[in-house]
Amino acid sequence: NQQIVLDNRPRGAAVLGNFRLVVTDTPALAEGQVLVRHHYLSLDPYMRGRMNEGPSYAAAQALGEVMIGGTVGEVVESRNPQYAVGDKVLGMGGWQEYSVIDGKAPGALRKLGAGPFPLSYYLGAVGMPGVTAWYGLVKIIAPKAGDSVVVSAATGAVGSAFAALARARGCRVVGIAGGAEKCRYAVQELGFDACIDHQRYGNEGKALAQALGQACPQGIDGCFENVGGWILDAVMLRMNAFGRIALCGLIAGYDGAPQPLSNPALLLVKRMRIEGFIVSEHLEVWPEALKELGALAGSGRLRPRETIAQGLAAAPEAFLGLLQGRNFGKQLVQLI
């Protein structure tokens, strides 16, 4: 069983040398356990936070342990009557080819039906990232039809689900993404009304705000923020009074770059609301959100792009790419 463990913690930006590939035997199963062979491993920005020590909303990943991560795979051995060999399952198997999971632990494994979409979607649009988009849109931004909403990292796993959900509610949906190709795809394939290429504005918030003004002539009512820093600054300049910002992620700062907010007075002047959230703390919304996301994916209204690295050894490089915007859509690793 090939595994990737956290070897040492990053000093500044994460690097390949923080990870180590090891090979171990899979242990014999105890009563209640199942052995899962992973087909896909999900790579997600939150993993970068777990590599650090220090206070956060979740505990740090221990050194020498397999990197945490969501997986879809197939049961290949079972000592649990609830799971049969061949069942497709979603779990937190981590960065490894096989995992031994206690099938009795609540929520440890979910059986997946053969849906009208690929199994990999359960790690993206019809999984945690999709629910994240749903929560921020529905519970924090709570838009009315006709509202203008903006999302950064627009073509990513969360951003692309956000677009489909916001369109379904009759919003004007504007994206911010890195590069002309991502922006073209956002408009032509994901149904964004407009998409702004942040790379054209070289960290210049006022120029980006001007472009946002053109894309949202009625101002911005809701912002789903994935990036932070100068991008959030620019959006705040264009927010309408009583606008809502769902603060989902600050990926521009995950590798240590400072992310100052240059004009917090705008929160007061525009009577805005900004609310951070962690999707795993809102398990009550998951069934409703997954139902809607599954229906959108099943009917083709949510057809997210995926970037798929091949083989476990490719995971660290693909993960660093995610933190630098080299992924185009949901980043996965295909294992077997």
Least spacing, CB of residue 215 vs ligand NDP, in Å: 15
Considering beta carbons, is residue 236 or 279 the nearer one to ligand NDP?
Answer: 279
Least spacing, CB of residue 67 vs ligand NDP, in Å: 15
Least spacing, CB of residue 80 vs ligand NDP, in Å: 29
Q: How far is the CA of 265 from the CAs of 206, 245, 250, 270, in angstroms?
A: 16, 15, 20, 9
Q: Determine, following the binding rule CB under 6 A, whether residue 143 of this chain makes contact with ligand NDP.
A: no
Least spacing, CB of residue 109 vs ligand NDP, in Å: 21
Q: How many residues does the chain have?
A: 336
Considering beta carbons, is residue 61 or 327 the nearer one to ligand NDP?
Answer: 327
Q: Determine, following the binding rule CB under 6 A, whether residue 45 of this chain makes contact with ligand NDP.
A: yes
| Structure-block tokens of residue 144 | 């009315």
Size, binding site for ligand NDP by CB under 6 A: 29
Q: Determine, following the binding rule CB under 6 A, whether residue 182 of this chain makes contact with ligand NDP.
A: yes
Q: Within 10 Å of residue 258's Cβ, how many Cβ atoms?
A: 7
Q: Determine, following the binding rule CB under 6 A, whether residue 153 of this chain makes contact with ligand NDP.
A: yes
The sign of the CA dihedral 138, 142, 146, 150 is negative
Query: Which ranges of the chain would DSSP assign to H, the alpha helix?
Result: 46-50, 128-134, 157-168, 180-188, 205-215, 229-238, 265-269, 286-298, 315-323
Question: b/e for 41-70, b at 16 or more Cβ within 10 A?
Answer: bbbbbbbbebbeeeeeeeeebeeeebbbbb
Binding-site member from 102, 112, 270, 277 for ligand NDP (CB under 6 A): 277
- Tell me which stretch binds ligand NDP (CB under 6 A): 111-119, 156-164, 204-212, 286-294: 156-164
Q: Determine, following the binding rule CB under 6 A, whether residue 120 of this chain makes contact with ligand NDP.
A: no
Q: Determine, following the binding rule CB under 6 A, whether residue 50 of this chain makes contact with ligand NDP.
A: no
- Give the separation between CA 317 and CA 309, rounded to whole angstroms: 9
The sign of the CA dihedral 208, 214, 219, 222 is negative
| Structure-block tokens of residue 280 | 């795993």
Q: Phi/psi zone of residue 31: left (φ > 0), alpha (ψ -120 to 50 degrees), beta?
A: beta
- Tell me which stretch binds ligand NDP (CB under 6 A): 211-219, 273-281, 292-300, 309-317: 273-281
- Tell me which stretch binds ligand NDP (CB under 6 A): 15-23, 58-66, 85-93, 177-185: 177-185
- Give the separation between CA 64 and CA 72, rounded to whole angstroms: 23
Q: Determine, following the binding rule CB under 6 A, whether residue 129 of this chain makes contact with ligand NDP.
A: yes
Q: Determine, following the binding rule CB under 6 A, whether residue 306 of this chain makes contact with ligand NDP.
A: no
Q: Determine, following the binding rule CB under 6 A, whether residue 278 of this chain makes contact with ligand NDP.
A: yes
Q: Determine, following the binding rule CB under 6 A, whether residue 246 of this chain makes contact with ligand NDP.
A: no
Q: Return residues touching ligand NDP (CB under 6 A).
A: 44-46, 129, 132, 153, 155-159, 177-178, 182, 226-227, 248-249, 251-252, 277-279, 322-325, 327, 330
